[in-house]
Amino acid sequence: FFYFWQGYAPICPAFEDFYTRRIYHRIQDCFGRPIASAPDAWIDVVERYSNDNNKTLHRTTNTTRCLNLGSYNYLGFAAGDEYCTPRVIESLESYAPTTCSSRADAGTTKLHTELEELIARFVGKPAAITFGMGYVTNSSIIPALVGEGGLIISDSFNHNSIVNGARASGATVMVFQHNSPSQLEELLRKQIVKGQPGTGEPWKKIMVIVEGIYSMEGEFSKLPEIVAICKKYKAYIYLDEAHSIGAVGKSGRGVCELLGVDPADVDIMMGTFTKSFGSCGGYIAASEDIIQYLRYACPAHLYATSMSPPAVQQVISAIKVVLGEDGSNRGAKKLAQIRESSNYFRSELKKTGFVVLGDNDSPVMSIMLYNLAKLPAFSRECLRQNVAVVIVAYPATPVLLARARICISASHTREDLIRGLKVISEVGDLVGAKCLPAEPEKI
């Protein structure tokens, strides 16, 4: 199933047809629900109805106010902020929604260079480069870094943008068991001895790719061990911090700060602006040489329109709040709140008898439903009780590991979390999703 997950093995068409067309068609109301508000702690979900057993869904103009447990708005910046929003509006007036040009042409504004300097300083690398989209950052940077004659070793749970970047690179791609440093080491040792297929020549380059927080599990990477192995075998390490940058670590600097890894030991640090910073776009932070090389070698830098200036301004302002450079301590408060809320929510869910994935301090957690057939009932019933949750199944997870994925935000109040827990617990009983004995009530 790991292989299905990564999409490296050819997928049987009948199997694919059964899972994607037949089942998902019947439960299509559970995905892509239109929203009519910002992705805040509460959202307006557009009501839809079907009079032909979900074959066609019609939108209404009615909306329902729901507690939002599904957005990646970890620090709560996405729904407007007293420091960010006025500056974003000003940038929209001074610049425009778009630059109408690629970075290499006329698409570099003063804001873009300011953001790149700020990101480099924030993550602790000498330089950084930004892109209009996080997905494109991975899928276009990986092929610019490793090509034919190279070896990419990828964690089996890595995101689809990494999988596609690795496939497009022309390098040999191998997958190691999720978060297993020992399997990684074994694979590296064997492949270094074997060399390139056919010729046995030494690999031109070896790059190991991992994530900071795995988005379907809420689990942290075993980064210290993986970094030590990469150093030992002289492999480059590429770290995707989409879900961890801004959200974890004492000052929000991500998993290196949280797990005590020196950023100098991570060759390529990738991240997105779509989660903690409430904007859009992605970045790569690395040595001056690598970043300079990428400015000329990466097609997304040369041929894709640069980040929208207001989106750039949003990230600059959000990072300044996180760093306390807005003159307040709101950033530190947000970080403390998301940590506390995430740990509270996870431990309360476990107490009621759910199997919950995810490490302490991670804002992402998954409630295991296992059986795909439980997903629609879980999702619909939560929504009926005004709680919006994201459900995830094959091909984003292995077939028998369907789940509801919860993302906590610093904008959730304790009352919001209590309400969410009550509804999820009731719905869990209804669909038979609690696999463990509940913790007895304290007398």
Q: Which positions touch ligand PMP (CB under 6 A)?
A: 133-135, 138, 159, 161, 211, 215, 240, 242-243, 272, 274, 282
Residue 253 C-beta: closest distance to ligand PMP, Å: 17
For residues 132 and 331, which CB has a smaller minimum distance to ligand PMP in the complex?
132
Interior angle at CA 381, CA 378 and CA 383, nearest 5: 105
| CB of 279 vs ligand PMP, minimal distance in Å | 9
**Do 335 and 251 meet the contact criterion of CB atoms below 8 Å apart?**
yes
Instruction: Kindly tell me which of 84 and 315 has the beta carbon lying closer to ligand PMP.
Output: 315
Cβ nearer to ligand PMP, comparing 81 with 240: 240
Shortest Å distance, C-beta 272 to ligand PMP: 4
Task: Determine which helix (DSSP H) or strand (DSSP E) holds 114, and give its type and residue range.
Answer: helix 110-123
- Residue 8 Cβ vs ligand PMP, minimum distance, rounded to whole Å: 17
Give the residue at shortest CB distance from ligand PMP.
Answer: 134
DSSP state, residue 306:
P
Q: Where are the beta strands (DSSP E) in 27-186?
A: 42-49, 58-68, 127-131, 151-155, 172-176
Q: Where does residue 395 rank: exposed (0-12), middle (13-18), buried (19+ CB within 10 A)?
A: middle
Q: Which is nearer to ligand PMP, 102 or 130 (CB)?
A: 130
Do the beta carbons of residue 215 and residue 156 sit within 8 Å?
no
8 Å CB contact between 107 and 302:
no
Helical (H) or strand (E) element with 356: strand 356-357
Tokens, residue 17 = 């047809």
Among 201, 214, 320, CA closest to 2: 214
Give the nearer residue to ligand PMP in terms of CB position, either 391 or 431: 391
Cβ atoms within 10 Å of 189's Cβ, excluding its own:
13
β-pairing, 387-388 with 58-68? parallel
Question: Which CB, 216 or 261, lies closer to ligand PMP?
Answer: 216
Q: How far is the CB of 133 from ligand PMP (least distance, A)?
A: 5
Using the minimum distance from each CB to ligand PMP, give the nearer residue, 103 or 243: 243
Q: 271: closest CA among 247, 303, 300?
A: 247
The CB-of-391 to ligand PMP minimum distance in angstroms stands at 16
Cα–chain-centroid distance for residue 47? 27
Cα 282 from chain centroid (whole Å): 11
Instruction: Decide whether 156 or 274 has the Cβ nearer to ligand PMP.
Output: 274
Task: Provide, rounded to whole angstroms, the least separation between the CB of residue 281 and ligand PMP.
Answer: 7
Name the minimum Å distance from CB 275 to ligand PMP: 7
